[in-house]
Amino acid sequence: MTTTLFYIFSTVTILSSFFVVFSSNPVHSVLFLIFSFFNVAVIFLLSDAEFIAMTLVIVYVGAVAVLFLFVVMMLNINEVLVKEGFLKYFPLGLLLMSVFLTELIVVFKDLEFIRGNNSGISISNLLDQGQENTKSIGLFLYTDFFIIFQISGYLLLVAMIGAIVLAYDNQLSVKSQSILKQKQVKKDDIIKLK
Amino acid sequence: MFVIPEIFLAICAVVILFITPFLKKNSYLTISYLSLLVILLSQFLILKDIFYSEIIFNGFFIVDSFGSFLKSLILIGAGLIFYFYLTVNNPKSLKRPEFAIILLISIVGMLLMISSNDLLSLFMSMELQSLSLYILVSFSRDDFTSSEAGVKYFIIGSLSTCIFLFGTSLVYGLVGSTSFNEISVFMSNLYSTPTMLIVGLIFILVSLSLKISAAPFHMWTPDVYQGAPSIITTLLSTLPKIAAFGVLIRLLVYPFGEIIVDWGKILIILSISSMLIGSLGALRQTDLKRLMAYSTINHIGFILMGLIPGSEDGITSICIYLIFYITMNLGIFLFILNMQRDQVSVTSIKDLSGLYRSQPLTAGCISVILFSMAGIPPMAGFIGKLIILNIVIDNNLFFLAVIAVITSVIAAFYYIRLIKSIFFDDPLEELDNIGSDHSKYMLCGFAFFNLTVVFYPQFFLNLCASVTLSLFAVK
């Protein structure tokens, strides 16, 4: 049952990822992207990783993809320009893709290697201890992975500073309203009776 | 008491960030001096425990003398870059307090990269470093070229991150752990190397090659170097390269040391193509910063050669070359930072012509450093090249040595063309004199260092040999 469901959802994921690249309308691309995120979330659910599935839906579908959608709608990208070099670069892309695919097929041929090995923190390991995986992720995140968690916080700080540095403009060219100045204006400054 | 310099630096960066709003406008000088002070203090913290060795934070990071050496090299470079920033005539867009803070944070990232002992912590620290660098490259955002360079760097960097993560996932899928120690244990119990591990390693290597701009992953380098503000180009061409080499050496020698036959071949290809592209690509350049980008690629190819044998001597030679490389590059870039005509920065090679007539001292210093880059005998660059070539020949890689020498000769052509233009060409329009005495003295200092290293190379050899010992002691 699980295997059948896995194959169905992964096929749909791959198909919708193809549509992300090939659909002519950018808005459709983003919608297909959201669709493929949903499918990946289901695949995570099938492998008992409900926390990651929910995070994927909330973060990627709820925030990132919707942001993409807004950006795409605001930018109003010219479709003809985007597709311009497509035929020119297609053969090279196809070549690279086939090289990549052969490589991966060769790699995953010795799959038995993975099955025999179950060290590290795999999800099934955690479930054996009778823990919900949300709880175990929490436990690991704040103990063993404490430093990684801190560095991610630091990374977000950098992102915040960077966004402000690159977007904030305190030059005079910005026309903004200063309420303090507006309130200090006296009648005599602006109206002159002669 | 043992204090980890990265944590000290990270906390100080945040403290400085919170001081900033309470200062008056144009407080960038105060912030820069504070940052310089913080860098000096963390340098002290590193030097205090340079021979200390321990695995910390649940195996995510490692402190050892090899890491401490590279870290102190980075901090010296960072201190000098802050000093340049304070003394040269910067464009107005760079005179903001955030500049120093982001630079500090990127240095935290580099230090963490060097001490990473796990693919996960390596990824996080690499992101910390590159995210700050993307911001710095596009810092003067009103400038079209700077924004363009920032976008290019960002896209290439994100691609590199994706590739790194894919490689990591393959390695994790096979080993069941991202820790270097676990990978090393796994590797030593293998009868034959699974293809998946090699492919995973190739992906990680590609991503790191993008970071050190080794050919054929060098495409972003000239554009980004040219577009970024000069002080950031100085940073880009020195410090991240040291950090990435630290990572590369630790990764290849320790966890993947068993499959040296596999990654050795990849490194041979990378180093040959870097040397060729670095020397041939530079021939037709007209912009000094673009030229320096190709020169960097050429040097990177040379340094990669030292890693191919995977031996202690090889890594010692890399450490020595890195020391000389940053002194040469900082010297050249100090001059580029000061290259101005009527208070406007110029970076064309033509602007160099006849420099000797207007500023003989500067011209002399520059030519010493250029000779050193070309590898002309008594200079520092020659000693670095000699040591690496020696290692290569000791390991019977003769064809590699021949290619290295030929490309060095080609590279020498364009360095010496610059010297010719400085001394013998008629001046078009004179450049501004180097304004501050600080820059003049620093330039003389760099030239002096490059000239006199030949009298005490043993010092650097002993230093580097003693720090690389720790890398092999783990095994």
For residue A46, what is the domain's CATH number?
1.20.120.1200
Per cent of chain B over pLDDT 70 is: 99
Whole-model pTM? 0.89
Per the CB < 8 Å rule, is B58 touching A162?
no
Phi and psi at residue B456, to the nearest 5°: -140, 55
**A83 belongs to a structural domain:** no
Q: What is the pLDDT of residues B105-160, one digit of tens each?
A: 999 999 999 999 999 999 999 999 999 999 999 998 888 899 999 999 999 999 99
**A108 belongs to a structural domain:** no
| Interface mutation vs chain A, best among B58, B111, B186, B206, most A CBs within 10 Å | B58
**A141 belongs to a structural domain:** yes
Same domain, A68 and A16: yes
Q: Give the pLDDT confidence score for residue A82 in this predicted structure.
A: 64
Both tokens of B435, joined, read: 């304004």
Q: Give the pLDDT confidence score for residue A120 in this predicted structure.
A: 46
Which of B57, B102, B128 is the closest to A154 by Cβ?
B128
Choose among B106, B119, B387: nearest CA to B243: B106
| Interface mutation vs chain B, best among A123, A139, A143, A165, most B CBs within 10 Å | A165
Burial (Cβ within 10 Å: 0-12, 13-18, ≥19) of residue B318? buried
d(CA B436, CA B338): 9
Per-residue pLDDT of chain A (194 residues; tens, 9 = 90+): 888 999 999 999 999 999 988 887 888 888 899 999 999 999 988 887 888 899 999 998 888 888 888 888 887 766 666 667 777 888 898 999 899 888 878 777 766 555 555 444 455 555 556 667 788 788 888 888 889 999 999 999 999 999 988 887 766 566 677 788 888 888 777 777 77
Average pLDDT over residues B314-321: 94
**A93 belongs to a structural domain:** no
Same domain, A2 and A66: yes
The total of structural domains in chain A comes to 2
d(CA A145, CA B372): 46
Instruction: Residue A165: give the domain boundaries.
Output: 121-170
Same domain, A73 and A8: yes
Q: Using the CB atoms, write b or e for B152-173: b if 16+ within 10 Å.
A: bbbebbeebbebbbbbbebbbb
Is the pLDDT at B78 greater than 90? The verdict is: yes
Average pLDDT over residues B86-97: 86
Q: What is the pLDDT of residues B425-469, one digit of tens each?
A: 888 777 777 777 888 899 999 999 999 998 998 999 999 998 888
**A6 belongs to a structural domain:** yes
Chain A neighbors of B102, CB-CB under 8 A:
158, 161-162, 165
**A97 belongs to a structural domain:** no
Q: Give the pLDDT confidence score for residue A119 in this predicted structure.
A: 46
**A153 belongs to a structural domain:** yes
Q: Tell me the residues of A at the B interface, defined by beta carbons under 8 Å apart.
A: 103-104, 106-110, 113-114, 117-120, 122, 144-148, 151-152, 154-155, 157-159, 161-162, 164-166
Q: Which long-range contacts link A155-159 to residues 24+ away (Cβ below 8 Å)?
A: A155/B124, A155/B127, A155/B128, A155/B131, A157/B14, A157/B105, A158/B102, A158/B105, A158/B128, A158/B131, A158/B132, A158/B135, A159/B131
Q: To the nearest whole number, what is the mean pLDDT of chain B? A: 90
Per the CB < 8 Å rule, is B174 touching A114?
yes
Same domain, A1 and A73: yes
Residues A56, A59, A62, A65: is their CA dihedral positive or negative? negative
Average pLDDT over residues B254-277: 91
Is the pLDDT at B64 greater than 80? The verdict is: yes
Q: Which long-range contacts link B470-473 to residues 24+ away (Cβ below 8 Å)?
A: B470/B51, B470/B53, B470/B64, B470/B65, B470/B66, B471/B64, B471/B66, B471/B249, B471/B250, B471/B253, B471/B254, B471/B312, B471/B315, B472/B253, B472/B312, B473/B53, B473/B64
Chain B neighbors of A166, CB-CB under 8 A:
135, 138, 141
**A175 belongs to a structural domain:** no
Q: Residue B323's Cα: distance from chain center in Å?
A: 10
Question: CA separation (Å) from A119 to A114, A163, B425, B468?
Answer: 10, 40, 68, 32
Cβ(B51)–Cβ(B14) under 8 Å? no
Same domain, A2 and A58: yes
Q: Give the pLDDT confidence score for residue A121 in this predicted structure.
A: 46
Full DSSP string of B191-210: SS--HHHHHHHHHHHHHHHH
d(CA B398, CA B407): 14
**Cis peptide bond N-terminal to B216, omega within 30:** yes
Same domain, A69 and A9: yes
d(CA B249, CA B246): 5
Question: CA separation (Å) from B109 to B38, B105, B325, B327?
Answer: 15, 6, 21, 22
Same domain, A5 and A71: yes
d(CA B226, CA B332): 14
Lowest average pLDDT, out of B120-134, B331-345, B364-378, goes to B331-345
Per the CB < 8 Å rule, is A107 touching B127?
no
Is the pLDDT at B232 greater than 90? The verdict is: yes
d(CA B419, CA B416): 5
Residues B258, B259, B264, B270: is their CA dihedral positive or negative? negative
Residues A43, A45, A46, A49: is their CA dihedral positive or negative? positive
Q: What is the pLDDT of residues B278-297, one digit of tens each?
A: 999 998 889 999 999 999 99
d(CA B234, CA B84): 10
Both tokens of B122, joined, read: 């390596």
Phi and psi at residue A174, to the nearest 5°: -80, 130
Residues B78, B96, B130, A143: is their CA dihedral positive or negative? positive
Cβ(B145)–Cβ(B227) under 8 Å? yes
Average pLDDT over residues B261-283: 92
ipTM of the prediction: 0.89
d(CA B2, CA B386): 38
Same domain, A6 and A71: yes
How much is the CA Rg of chain A, to the nearest whole Å? 26
Chain B neighbors of A173, CB-CB under 8 A:
none
Same domain, A70 and A128: no
Instruction: Give the highest mean pLDDT range of B52-56, B180-184, B240-244.
Output: B240-244
Instruction: Give the highest mean pLDDT range of A60-74, B20-34, B182-196, B246-260.
Output: B246-260
A-B C-beta contacts closer than 8 Å: 88
Q: Which residues contact A127 (CB under 8 A, 6 or more apart)?
A: A48, A133
Question: Closest Cα of chain A to B99: distance in Å?
Answer: 9
Both tokens of B241, joined, read: 């390269």
Per the CB < 8 Å rule, is B135 touching A161?
yes
Q: Give the pLDDT confidence score for residue B469 in this predicted structure.
A: 86
Per the CB < 8 Å rule, is B102 touching A158?
yes
